[in-house]
């Protein structure tokens, strides 16, 4: 059993990870400033797990408050989710991203150092690979920063690797997520994008509820089997369980690793639309549109390292991802025929 603090603990991926950790017997403490999450998430987690996780409302850049939290709630490790994550916004406001993501991570690491917490699991992203030479992508592929969000992820990874290399951290896992989608099957927690969703699955679920008239397919002339972009979508509960396994591994072996988290299966935009229509019985009106600037044709993981090192294996397929994403969105929209 491990006691672990989740920064960004009421956000999309962290809230699902809290459930997975709790199911495996770990003790969870949540820290969030609610800048991109709903106030009712702790209560939803309590109803879902039967446990009231301690919650600290704080900004990760506030070293005294985070240090006091770690003193009031001593933990073995931190899982660091808190960050800003919108590529477009990062290009519009670079200083905001450097401040929240890089300075935020430095401040968190300082608070951890002051408190003697020396293990971390970090939310990185496949965005660090930029335009890959080929897929599947292995962890030793070159990293290529394409935007400021991606640069902040790479700098945060490097910070963590440097602290591990110099013995300041005992153990660290940099987890490079591919495309997390879906929700807990209970429909009690899920993803709540603010404003117009940037990502395919949340946009599609809002088309299905009738909130948006159609889905724009950004490019149908890529060099892919059906011409649309190929990505590696993975169910957020599989991703959540990977965090529990990563945490257990680094705590047991006091090692540092950098690992992809994806299924290894490339799915095109049209594949995902068809899977969604199959799983939900809802028709998604499409509009073929120009390519979105900065998009790559194809990007999917080689997930063998996560299987070999953590013993992680995905349990859910694309139909589960679509069904659970839809259950969550339908519940929020008050649609009951799901
Ligand atoms: P999210 O926005 O739902 O969760 C982030 C949480 O952090 C939010 O609850 C927000 O309120 C909180 N937060 C932000 N800044 C904070 C600060 N300064 N202090 C305290 N709390 C703060 O995002 P998510 O999708 O759950 O992503 C979690 C992590 O995973 C992020 O680091 C993100 O970059 C990374 N990631 C996400 C994806 C994805 O597709 N969702 C893909 C790759 C990597
Ligand atoms: N797409 C559409 N229509 C939409 C939205 C997306 O056709 O309305 C297409 C995109 O062109 C792409 C695919 O659906 O081919 C997936 O797009 P997403 O925006 O869902 O995901 P990305 O892979 O583009 O981006 C995600 C994260 C980024 C991260 C990147 C690389 O959202 O933050 O993965 O890891 F940088």
If we measure between CA atoms, which residue out of 257, 260, 235 comes closest to residue 126?
260
C-alpha 9/C-alpha 56 separation (Å) is 9
Query: Mind listing the pLDDT tens digit for each residue in 191-234?
Result: 998 899 999 999 999 999 999 999 999 999 999 999 999 999 99
The per-residue pLDDT for range 245-284, each reduced to its tens digit, is 999 999 999 999 999 999 999 999 999 999 999 999 999 9
Ligand 2: residue of 221, 295, 300, 301 to mutate (most ligand atoms within 8 A of CB) is 295
Helix (H) or strand (E) holding 235: strand 233-235
- Interval 43-68 mean pLDDT: 98
Q: 200: CA distance to ligand 2 center in Å?
A: 6
Predicted local confidence at residue 294, as pLDDT:
83
Q: Please give the torsion angle defined by the CA atoms of residues 261, 265, 266 and 272, in that order, rounded to the nearest 10 degrees.
A: -100
327 band by pLDDT with thresholds 50, 70 and 90: very high
Catalytic one of 149, 177, 203, 222: 149
| Ligand nearest to the Cα of 205, by number | 2
- Whether 57 shows a pLDDT value over 80: the answer reads yes
**pLDDT the model gives residue 331:** 95
> What is the model's pLDDT at position 226?
98
Q: How confident is residue 74, by pLDDT bands cut at 50, 70 and 90?
A: very high
Q: Which CATH architecture has domain 3-182+234-261?
A: 3-Layer(aba) Sandwich (3.40)
pLDDT band of 131, cuts 50, 70, 90: confident
Distance 60 CA to ligand 1 centre (A): 12
CA atoms of 4 and 199, how far apart (whole Å):
29
Strand partners, 7: 31, 80
Tell me what pLDDT residue 20 has. Answer: 98
Q: What is the Cα–Cα distance from 114 to 124, expressed in whole angstroms?
A: 24
Ligand 1 binding pocket (C-beta < 6 A) is 8, 10-14, 32-37, 59-61, 81-83, 85, 100, 104, 123, 125, 177, 180
Percent with pLDDT over 90 in the chain: 95
What backbone torsions phi and psi does residue 148 show, to the nearest 5 degrees?
A: -70, -35
The structure tokens listed for 51 are: 């446990």
Cβ burial 278-300 (10 Å sphere, 16+ → b, else e): ebbebebebeeeeeeeeebbbbb
> How far does residue 11's CA lie from ligand 1's centre (Å)?
6
Domain positions in the chain: 3-182+234-261
Contact in structure between 21 and 243 (CB atoms under 8 Å): yes
71-91: average pLDDT: 96
- Reported as a single tens digit per residue, the pLDDT across 170-192 is 999 999 999 999 999 999 999 99
Confidence (pLDDT) at 326? 97
First to last CA, the chain: 37
**Residue 269 Cα distances to 56, 151, 242, 296, 312, angstroms:** 39, 26, 25, 13, 26
């Amino acid at each position: 059993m491990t006691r672990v603090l989740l920064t960004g603990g009421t956000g999309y991926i962290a809230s699902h990870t809290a459930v997975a950790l709790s199911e495996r017997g770990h003790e969870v403490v949540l820290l969030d400033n609610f800048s991109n999450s709903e106030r009712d998430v702790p209560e939803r987690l309590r109803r879902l797990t039967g446990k009231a996780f301690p919650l600290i409302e704080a900004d990760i850049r506030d070293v005294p408050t985070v240090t006091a939290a770690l003193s009031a709630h001593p933990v073995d490790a931190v899982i660091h989710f808190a960050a800003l994550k919108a590529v477009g916004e990062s290009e519009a406001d670079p200083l905001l991203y450097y401040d929240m993501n890089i300075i935020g991570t430095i401040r968190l690491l300082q608070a951890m150092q002051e408190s003697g917490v020396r293990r971390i699991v970090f939310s990185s992203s496949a965005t660090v690979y930029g335009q890959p030479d080929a897929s599947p992508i292995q962890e030793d592929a070159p990293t290529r920063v394409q935007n400021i969000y991606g640069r902040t992820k790479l700098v945060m990874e490097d910070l963590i690797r440097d602290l591990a290399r110099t013995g300041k951290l005992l153990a660290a896992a940099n987890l490079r997520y591919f495309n997390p989608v879906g929700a807990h099957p209970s429909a009690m927690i899920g993803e709540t994008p603010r404003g117009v969703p940037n990502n395919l699955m949340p946009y599609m679920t809002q088309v299905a509820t009738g909130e948006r008239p159609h889905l724009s397919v950004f490019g149908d002339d890529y060099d892919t089997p059906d011409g649309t972009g190929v990505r590696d979508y993975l169910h957020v509960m599989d991703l959540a369980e990977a965090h529990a396994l990563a945490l257990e591994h680094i705590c047991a072996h006091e090692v540092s690793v950098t690992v992809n988290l994806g299924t290894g299966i490339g799915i095109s935009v049209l594949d995902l639309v068809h899977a969604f229509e199959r799983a939900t019985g809802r028709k998604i009106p499409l509009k073929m549109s120009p390519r979105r600037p900065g998009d790559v044709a194809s990007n999917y993981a080689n997930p063998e390292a996560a299987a070999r090192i953590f013993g992680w294996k995905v349990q859910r397929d694309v139909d589960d991802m679509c069904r659970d994403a839809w259950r969550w969105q339908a519940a929020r929209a008050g649609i009951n025929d799901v």
